[in-house]
Structure 1
Amino acid sequence: MIFEQYLVIDYGTSYIKGILYKEILGSVSILRRESLKLVRFQADEGDEYEYNIVRFMQSFFPEESNFIINLPLDKVFIRDIVVPLGNEKAIKEIIPYEVENVVPFPIEDMVIQGSISNLEKEASRVITFSSHQNDVERAAIPFSRNDISLKCMSSDPYTLSIPMKNHFGKLILDNYTAQLDIGGKVSIFNLISKGKLTHSRFFPGGGDRITEKLMKILKIGMEEAEELKHSIDFSIHSPEPAQINDYIRKFGLKREDYDLIHNIIIETIKMISSELLKSIHTIRASERPVSIYLSGGGSLFKDIEKILNEMTGYQFKRYDFLELNNELYINSLAMGYHYRVKKNDRINFITDVFSKRLNKNSFQFSAFKLHFILTGISLLVLTTIFIISVINDQKVLSRNNEALRKKFKEGFGRELTEEDDVMSEALTEVNRQKKKSEIVRLFLSKDSILDILLELHQDFPSKEEFSFALEQFTYSDNEVHIYGKVDEYSDLGTLQSALEKSSMFKNVEIQNKRLIQGVTKLRVSFKIKMELVSGSEGQEKSKKRGSR
């Protein structure tokens, strides 16, 4: 596509994040990024998901029409399966039937997508993502307006893995890596093998657990607990005493309160580490990750990777090779990466059937607004150039017409009116003059020099019969004189006989014959004198010649 602008919305467990992309001829740029804390609803207060999505769109991106989202994690069933086939096309066709026994709903009621993690001859490993059709439809409700389009709906674990695939072999050199996304309520663990997602799991635990513990133990409200948590902008691994004192002083805390807050954070990280190790221990030793990449709002604590390293023994890294150096937006970036891969490589719950049902605006004029503007500008420019060219051409034609009228007056001695066509009048005059010349020629029987030369050429003996050199030719007062040379005297007879056959000449005489001494070729010089016949004589001579 030449131009596309789309908004990626990452609906997390605590925050909703968004990145606005612009893509022109394959070149991608980030226009804006925004985040907004989710508003929590009671059970009887309405649809929390729809409210937060619409609130986010209207607050920051009211004019956008193309959207990309992921299904909430609690609406997706992730399963690792083995398919006894080695053909990619056949595997994708059979995936729904292989998943049937490991999901809680009939496959007829589900949207099932799969990604091949290891393709082998006898059997292939596949990671599948399944969701109930009703959940897919509910997730699309905020985008059901006719003036917007939902382009793609995927799943966080899969989209999170795409940057690893894109950068494998370039910026990521380890064959086995992993990802840990620490969210608000849920954390995601992905195992990546040579750039491909081979295992994924999500489990409870994240930044919201810290907030809830602070509210309960310190008996404070949510906003105050959130502020206490987010204000720890110093190292949680080895904090400086001065930084701790500044923090205590800022919020009017006791040292015991700070120690309590710090312990809650460490306990939460320990709980996440424990779940992480459970996942890693289910993997064969040869496929365990060399390094683990951190993302999510819960990973924003400074030096959290050092604590995780001490608790698990694994090396933790940041995504310093991506466009935004902010762990909060890693999945939003990943969703953009995912949308730009080939269609066959996507996990997209909006299948062709759902696309027709959900995106009722299959053809939107608003989507082509920029194209129409550019086309209109182009047409305006072309029309302006065309009109200017026509005006210039008319001026040139007018000047040329004036020049032709002047030439006509000089040539034919009369002026034309404005209504007269110069070329038509000129052709008429030329034809009239031609007719006059023909009349003079017919009635005066006056042959032109070209007519005489043509007649001589037609009646003259060919070069194969004898050699001849023309020295002089004169035409005056109906007499033609030819001066030349031939090899023998006998050649003069041949020449005279040929000319006497012409209907244009009469009284053909050979004069001044003489032999040139000292030469072997063209040794006889001569002069031929002949008269032109009149028109009537020529016609009579032609009749006699024809009868013979």
Structure 2
Amino acid sequence: MSMIAECVGLDIGQTALKAVRFRRRLTGRESVEYFHQPIPYGRQEHTEPAYRTAMLRNFLWQHGLYGSGEIVTALPCQDVFVRTLSFPFRDASKLAQIVPFEMENLIPMPLEDVTVGSLLLPARESLEGQAKAKGSDVLVTAAPKTKIAEHLRFMASADLNPSVITVDGMALFSVSQFLKEEGAQVPGDMAIIDVGASKTTLCLVHEGRPVLLRTVLWGGNHLTHALAVRYACSFAEAERRKRAMSVQEIDAWLEPVLKELRVSLHAYEGTIHQRLTHCWVSGGGSKLKELSGHMAQQLGLLPVGPRQGFGSSCPRAFSIAFGLSIHPNIVRPRWKSRLAGSNLALDFKASSDAASDTTEVSKRDRRLALWGGLILALLVLGDLAVRVALKDSTVKDLKRGLQTQYEQTFGPGVNPGDELDQARYRVSQLEKGLSIVDGTRYNVLAGLAELVKHVPQGVPLKIRELTIDGTSIHLEAETTTFDAVEKIKQSFMANETLHDVSISDTRVGAVPNQVVFRLTYTAQRP
């Protein structure tokens, strides 16, 4: 007959490999198989990843666990941040948006470096028995992505691909829910304490809901080491002594773990102002004589027993592995009514895969956005280039038109830009031309007539160049002798209307009987 659920819970400890294979058939018939293999402890080579991988692979092959069902593994609570948050609403979509950001303020890591999982806990019941549905309590977990990746690499080295990765504390809660579904009177307020070889896992259950998960770094090996030192014996001999000793003989060495458990228990009880009632001690360490009763007494709780469903058939030493093998995401009871809280389950792998898919989508969206931005930038640059070219062409046309008008006004060869100076120059030229005609300035014609009057009789004079600047006259002339030059100078200097008379650059000309000179004088304005 075909199976509808088959799952293997794998608990990898420091001193043992534990596996539980759980099967449920269509008829509802269930079968549970337990597998155990001790791991040598105390040598450095036994802790090497390659050695542990080889042991795990051999363990799985030996018991035929490869391909016999979906594999479920767990991270220890010490590798996971666990918080219980309260909100004034129960809208799942709103909680999914708010919870990660609320969690970010409570952990010492950025949100992008962790995988966040959350469980909406069942509503608490009031004294009248009605559920208080206004607010909500959410159990939030944040596992560092490096821890998940490290766990997956170790599983892959043993040719395993776990279907679910949860946290060991939730596996303990799953055991209590399984017993409750089987009809056991499991207390609603209970502390589940799993004593392992290297650590102790605590799961506090209040009103049938998991509210606190914690790892205490104290286990059975710490007690064994203490006994080995106390009796100066080997680790193996101390382990044998431990199994034979009563709890009263070792209570002093139990105080560190009891102290930590009291702190967690009293801290939570102080927040809810209520006391938890019962205690269940599981794990390999629970095999110590009278340990369950002693721990319950020291914590002020009542030990559970067969009346509450925790009898001899309860998987005490395999509690975590059994809880993993009945993970609600894989083993779903379809022929029984689902109790409140029975479907509470964490799955870091699903959350990690969803985050990876979201990351891939985000990366693809970023790539598309980048290409879109580049194309848009190219279009903008092309549009800008066309606009600049059009404006440049318009400016050049305007410059050519302006240059044409400028040349028409000021003449060719004049550059635009010094219009005021050009205008002043043109006005001054016009004024000079007008002054010759209207006499507003020194009369040039009168000046030339005055020049002719003062040339001595019989002295030839040929004017080669004449410059008149107001009343200042500069001329270059030629005559026949140097004596003639001197006579001209004396004649001009004798005239009272002429001032600053000077002769310069007197030289012999290029032809015979030619003397060239320069004459400068200032004529008195009439």
Query: TM-score band, normalised by the shorter chain?
Result: 0.5 to 0.7
Question: Once the two structures are superposed, what CA deviation does each residue of 1:109-166 show, in whole Å capped at 9, x if it has no partner?
Answer: 2111122235465542222222112211221224337975411111111111123234
Equivalent pair of 2:115/2:352 in contact (CA under 8 Å): no
Other-structure match for 1:77 = 81
Displacement after TM superposition at 1:104 (Å): 2.4
Mark the CA change 1:146 to 1:163 in structure 2 (over 3 Å): closer, same or farther.
Answer: closer
The answer to whether 1:332 aligns with 2:335 is: no
* Structure ranking higher on relative contact order (CA contacts 8 Å, 6+ apart): 2
> Are 1:293 and 2:291 counterparts?
no
Match for 2:175 among 143, 160, 163?
A: 163
Displacement of 1:7 in angstroms is 2.1
User: In 2, are the aligned partners of 1:168 and 1:195 still within 8 Å (CA)?
Assistant: no
TM-score normalised per structure 2: 0.55
Is it true that 1:208 corresponds to 2:221 in the alignment? yes
C-alpha offsets along residues 66-108 of structure 1, whole Å, 9 cap, x if unaligned? 3211113332221222234322343234322221112222222
Q: Is the 8 A contact 2:22 2:326 kept in 1?
A: no
Provide Cα deviations, 1:264-291, integer angstroms capped at 9, x if missing partner.
x212333332222212211146532111
CA distance in 2, matches of 1:9, 1:173: 25
Matched with 2:251 is 266
Match of 1:279 in 2: 264
Specify whether residues 57 and 272 from structure 1 end up closer, same or farther in structure 2 by C-alpha distance, changes over 3 A only: same
What is the rounded CA distance, in whole Å, between the counterparts of 1:11 and 1:146 in structure 2? 12
Whole-angstrom CA distance in 1 between matches of 2:298 and 2:343:
39
Q: What amino acid does structure 2 have at the position aligned with 1:90?
A: K
CA deviation after TM superposition for structure 1 residue 48, in Å: 6.4
Match of 2:188 in 1: 175
Counterparts of residues 109-508 of structure 1 (less than 5 Å):
109-117=113-121, 119=123, 123-144=135-156, 148-168=160-180, 170-172=183-185, 174-232=187-245, 235-236=246-247, 262=249, 265-282=250-267, 283-284=269-270, 286-318=273-305, 320-321=309-310, 324-339=313-328, 340=330, 345-351=344-350, 354=353
The secondary structure found in structure 2 opposite 1:175 is coil
Q: CA–CA distance in 2 between the matches of 1:14 and 1:226?
A: 12
Q: Deviations over 1:450-507 (max 9, x none)?
A: xxxxxxxxxxxxxxxxxxxxxxxxxxxxxxxxxxxxxxxxxxxxxxxxxxxxxxxxxx
Task: Tell me the equivalent position of 1:37.
Answer: 39
User: Structure 2 CA distance, aligned partners of 1:82 and 1:323?
Assistant: 38
Confirm or deny: 8 A CA contact 2:152 2:161 kept in the other structure. no
In structure 2, what is the equivalent of residue 103 of structure 1?
107
Question: 1:6 corresponds to which residue?
Answer: 7
Match for 1:304: what amino acid? L
Q: Would you say the 8 A contact 1:75–1:135 is kept in 2?
A: yes
Say yes or no: does 1:67 pair with 2:71: yes
Q: CA RMSD in A?
A: 3.3
Alpha-carbon deviation of 1:36? 2.2
> More deviation in 164-173 or 280-289?
164-173
CA contact (8 A) 1:112 1:128 kept: yes
3-state secondary structure, aligned to 1:86: coil
Aligned to 2:98: 94
How far 1:344 sits from its partner (Å)? 6.8
When residues 200 and 72 of structure 1 are mapped into structure 2, their CA distance, relative to the original with a 3 A threshold, is: closer
Contact 1:116 1:124 in 2 (8 A): yes
Q: Shift of the alpha carbon at 1:351?
A: 1.1
> How far apart, in 2, do the equivalents of 1:212 and 1:144 lie?
33
What are the superposed Cα offsets for residues 271-324 of structure 1, whole Å, 9 maximum, x if unpaired? 332222212211146532111111011121122233234423321124754784
- 2:412 is aligned to none
Amino acid paired to 1:269: L
Gaps of 5+ in 1: 238-261, 359-548
Distance in 2 of aligned mates of 1:280 and 1:145: 39
Secondary structure at 1:327's aligned position in 2?
Answer: coil
Instruction: With the length of structure 1 as denominator, give the TM-score of the two structures.
Output: 0.53
User: Residues 54 and 142 of structure 1 are in contact (CA less than 8 Å); yes or no, is this contact kept in structure 2?
Assistant: no
User: Structure 2 CA distance, aligned partners of 1:223 and 1:146?
Assistant: 29
